[in-house]
Copies of this chain bind each other. A is one copy, B any other.
Amino acid sequence: MTDPVTRTPPRYRLVDCDVHPITKHGLADLRPFLSTAERRRLGLDERRALTATGHREAVSIPRNMLYVNPAGVLRDDARAPDGSAPGADPLFTARHLLDAHGIDRAVLIGGEVLGLGAMPDPDAAAMIASAYNRWLAATWFDADDRYRGYIVAGAQDPHLAAREIRRAAQDERFVGVLLPLTDLLMGQRHHYPIYEAAHDLGLPVAVHPNSGEGIFRTSPPMAGGTPTYYVEWHSGLSQVFQANVISLVCHGVFERFPGLKVIITEGGLGWIPDVMWRLDKNVRGLRDEVPWVRRLPSEYIVDHVRFTTQPLPEPRRRHHLHVLCEIAHAERTLMFSSDYPHWDFDDPRYALTSLPESIRQRVSSENAIETYGDRL
């Protein structure tokens, strides 16, 4: 941390680490960025029939169809005057979000592609990821200088993913890698080619809630069984991130990739003490099983894992949030996010003021500047 007396103002005052670019017409928007063969493969060409009799369906990315939010998932006031979907107009979003809240940089994190990890076909996932990255650069980055974004990587084939990361990273407006979760925990060796590419390029790897946390494959979205209601699913979502942080630490990923940063986007904060304490205690008792875990797990977490603010815990006593920030070392680990245009958007005017004053500038921009580096 910079000495508070002598510090110079940070390069940016406010960075939003979780903004969703929405497509206007779903995957059809990707057509210009797909080859003819890929369009045919994905059902995104103009032909309506694969054979003379078969009705042709376009591929779709699995999304959460088990739990429906009765409040609606997208803010209706995020809709541009042309009536396109909320959050689908880069220029409108620049005014409605960036100008209105004084945001200097917004890191775009795929909207519809969040569920890419649930696609069974690794080649289809890779095609969509690459086209989406090209679409993001041409449609959003080019519309406003304040946009940055994540390279989407289809983890189903980690070697194809690594190749796409190296290709897309040539555009320096990409500041990280978005890994849509499959039902393989993040510590598994399967993912190492992706981490290697990100590590070589100095890009953090981000995860985010998505329809692919296992809803559609072998694992239910919560431990212990399948929840019934949206409110249960949404309240238990943090478990996916608890499990992945445990997995990353126990598999020694941060020993193998010592420069790697992982960003837990929209994964909550309240669970960080539980995971740190349980891991620190258990690794001491079971060190023979994972001898490569050479430091205390909580130290790996503070050095390598970053968290975004939204949804910020709202305990009755603000003091409890401040103690949580102390345990989680929020002065190093926490980065502001709004989650625009989602229904539970956090307004920086309110979210940031509930944090301890001493760490507000760290959370508003400095931790993001350190995590994303010069590309931001």
Known A-B contacts A281-B311, A286-B69; A220 and B222 likewise in contact (beta carbons under 8 Å): no
CA distance A184 to B222 in the complex (A): 11
Question: Per-position contact with B for A176-190: 1 when CB-CB < 8 Å, else 0?
Answer: 000001111101100
Interface set, chain A 242-269, CB cutoff 8 A to B: 242-244, 246-247, 250-251, 268-269
Interface size class, chain A: 35 or more
Residues of B within 8 A of A276 (CB): 315
B250 near A289 with CB under 8 A, answer no
Question: Is the C-beta of A70 less than 8 angstroms from some C-beta in chain B?
Answer: yes
Interface set, chain A 289-344, CB cutoff 8 A to B: 289-290, 311, 313-315, 320, 323-324, 326-327, 343-344
Known A-B contacts A187-B228, A230-B286, A270-B277; A222 and B250 likewise in contact (beta carbons under 8 Å): no
Question: Is the C-beta of A111 less than 8 angstroms from some C-beta in chain B?
Answer: no
Residues of B within 8 A of A288 (CB): 70-71
B225 near A70 with CB under 8 A, answer no
Question: Is the C-beta of A83 less than 8 angstroms from some C-beta in chain B?
Answer: no
Question: Is the C-beta of A42 less than 8 angstroms from some C-beta in chain B?
Answer: no
Please name the 6 residue pairs, one residue from A and one from B, whose CB atoms are nearest each other, closest first: A270-B274, A223-B239, A224-B243, A222-B243, A224-B240, A185-B225
Residues of A with Cβ closer than 8 Å to B? 69-71, 181-185, 187-188, 213-214, 218-232, 234-236, 238-244, 246-247, 250-251, 268-271, 273-283, 285-286, 288-290, 311, 313-315, 320, 323-324, 326-327, 343-344
